[in-house]
Chain A
Amino acid sequence: MKATKALLEVRKCSLRFGGIAALTDVSIQINGGELLGLIGPNGAGKTSLFNILTGVYKPTEGEILFEGKRVAGLPPHSINALGMARTFQNIRLFGSLDVGMNVRTSFIARLRNGLINTVRRGNSFRDEEEEIQEEGRRLLAYFGLEEASAHPSRSLPYGDQRRLEIVRALATKPRLLLLDEPAAGMNPTEKEELKQLIARIRGEFGTAVLLVEHDMKVVMGICERLYVLDQGKVLAAGTPSEIRADPKVIAAYLGTSHDE
């Protein structure tokens, strides 16, 4: 493991809904620029962990530190402002906006010009709009979506919609990108493209990535380190080869044999 200070640290977080414990004493750590995988069977608590990280839920117990700042319980938009961006398991694009504008919504929270300047259409407003147009175009071009810029976002093929969601999250300039099952519903070719895309994001933007994924092939192929969740607890942590050999993980995924 790198000696760098942790980018994100989850300390003994629990999340309970009444008597049901979705997460129990979960502790994980992500370092700057790291590509980390989070796997686990259905109902293991992957999405619950995702939701406490992104501000959808507040952990019942425990602390979440992002770059040393406490983020547990902050609303989603404040968490995004601190440098964490996410995508969704079920794609959530803005249906009435075109592809380009979907990406540019990421700049709204960081606009210099407010309401009055927007209505006045002053010079600083126009300069900023041009900057945003240019930056949005650059991002789309980089990910090969430029021609689709003026198309409705919902008219894109499924794989491209996923890609657009990732580009939109990247446009908020995060230091940590959280991807919630990005390979869900993808065919093998699209999965291969996705793996390359994630590798590129990390290589060229220096963004740390937390990949929550069901598909073992995708996770094992690109992640350096993995956490395995089962029944709301961290079952194992380590490199893909360590995880693959771990009897606890095999038991959680395949079930234990009663014949022995």
Chain B
Amino acid sequence: MFRSYHARIKNPRLALAVGIAVAVILQCCGGVIDPYTTQVIVFAAINVMLAVSLNLVMGETGQFSLCHAAFMAVGAYASALLTGKALPALFPHLAWTGASWASQLTFLPVLIIAGLIAAFAGLIVGGPSLRLRGDYLAMVTLGFGEIIRVLLQNTNAVGGARGMEGILPATNLFWAVGAAVVTLYTMIALVRSTYGRGFLAVRDDEIAAAAMGIDTTRFKVTAFVIGAFFAGVAGALYAHAVEFISPEGFNFLRSFEIIVMVILGGLGRPVGVAVAAIMITLLNEWLRDLSQYRMVVYALIIILFMIFRPMESLAPFLSRLVPRQFRKTKAPEAA
């Protein structure tokens, strides 16, 4: 995998504005879209956020993390407690239903706080463990994921193994698609810069990166914390979309599903990873009718995808979807 770097960097905020406009328009057309399709779009947006944020850790910085779903859980539970307990207790005279203006206006700060709490969890895990390499980091993150799950299972205040139900259905198309657009923008803007190439330098050769003055541990922790932040926001959106969360929903298999999206989309390619996340979401929906054979077919399709890597052959086409200012220059391929 070889990356060139675009010399001209203009203002790409237009792309961000267009993306958010799409989210607003989708929300306004909400009446036309049936509830099932709406839900699939929301799930796809959440998966895009999860996969693109994990891509920063795994694809760009080369750190194998197995606890992305745990950060999602932290965000989900934190936000559920905020909207379910803290906010109604603080402002008891306001109407707290999913679409009420009170819950919609407070949803942005709720998402951000959920993200920050997840980011803090990321700092606690990443700070000490990112000094480890490869397999050891994978083991630590696997352990952390399990710790979070077991902690939640045994905390009665958040429903223990039964989980939390009756969460406000505050997530709608605007929040989900808007957040996915902001995530994708942030990741692309970050990576396509001199600063962002530091992540790739760390992945390529830590010793050389350190010799060039790059604080490699700091870069790894930064990637981990940013990844955890967006996973936390995705978790908050998820909790307020399905209205019910339980520790089992954020187990190791969920983390693994996100990893599959990142690998399928091509490590270190944010747009490819986003497309892979959407495809896996759709695949999950299409295979629902197959009932008990679902996982067999699912696994088969994933294996075929891994062998033929359609994302990589689609890459030149996919990169056209990225605003010109972000695009790479054409460079001769490595021999």
Contacts and interface: CB of A to CB of B under 8 A. Distances in A.
Contacts of B268: 96
**A-B pairs, 9 with minimum CB distance:** A109-B213, A80-B213, A92-B208, A76-B210, A152-B334, A94-B204, A150-B331, A108-B198, A152-B2
Nearest to B7: A133
Contacts of A54: 211
* Residue from A93, A108, A125, A150 with most neighbouring chain B CB atoms (10 Å): A108
B9 A118 contact: no
B1 interface: yes
Nearest to B332: A151
Interface residues of B, number: 44
A115 interface: yes
Nearest to B215: A77
Contacts, number: 141
Contacts of B189: 118-119, 121
Interface of A: 54-56, 75-77, 80-81, 85-86, 88, 92-98, 100-101, 104-111, 113-115, 118-119, 121, 125-126, 128-129, 132-133, 150-152, 154-155, 168-169, 172
A81 B222 contact: no
* Residue from B1, B12, B208 with most neighbouring chain A CB atoms (10 Å): B208
B60 to A, nearest CB: 10
B207 A92 contact: yes
A77 to B, nearest CB: 5
8 contacts: A80-B212, A88-B208, A92-B205, A100-B5, A104-B5, A109-B215, A118-B195, A150-B331
Contacts of A80: 210-213
B208 A125 contact: no
Nearest to B209: A105
Contacts of A126: 9-10
A96 B3 contact: yes
* Residue from A110, A114, A119, A154 with most neighbouring chain B CB atoms (10 Å): A119
Contact of A111 (B10, B186, B194, B200): B194
Given A96-B200, A97-B201, A98-B331, A129 B193 contact: yes
* Residue from A94, A129, A150 with most neighbouring chain B CB atoms (10 Å): A94
B80 to A, nearest CB: 28
A119 B187 CA distance: 8
B204 A97 contact: yes
A168 B193 CA distance: 18
B3 A155 contact: no
A128 B216 CA distance: 22
Contacts of A151: 331-332
Given A97-B200, A108-B198, A152-B2, A125 B210 contact: no
Given A108-B201, A133-B7, A77 B213 contact: yes
A105 B201 contact: yes
B320 to A, nearest CB: 20
Interface string B245-256: 000000000000
A257 to B, nearest CB: 42
Nearest to A95: B204
A114 B268 CA distance: 21
A104 B201 CA distance: 11
A95 B201 CA distance: 9
A228 B80 CA distance: 69
Contact of A119 (B186, B214, B331): B186
Nearest to B13: A121
Interface string B1-45: 111110101111100000000000000000000000000000000
A121 B200 contact: no
B335 interface: yes
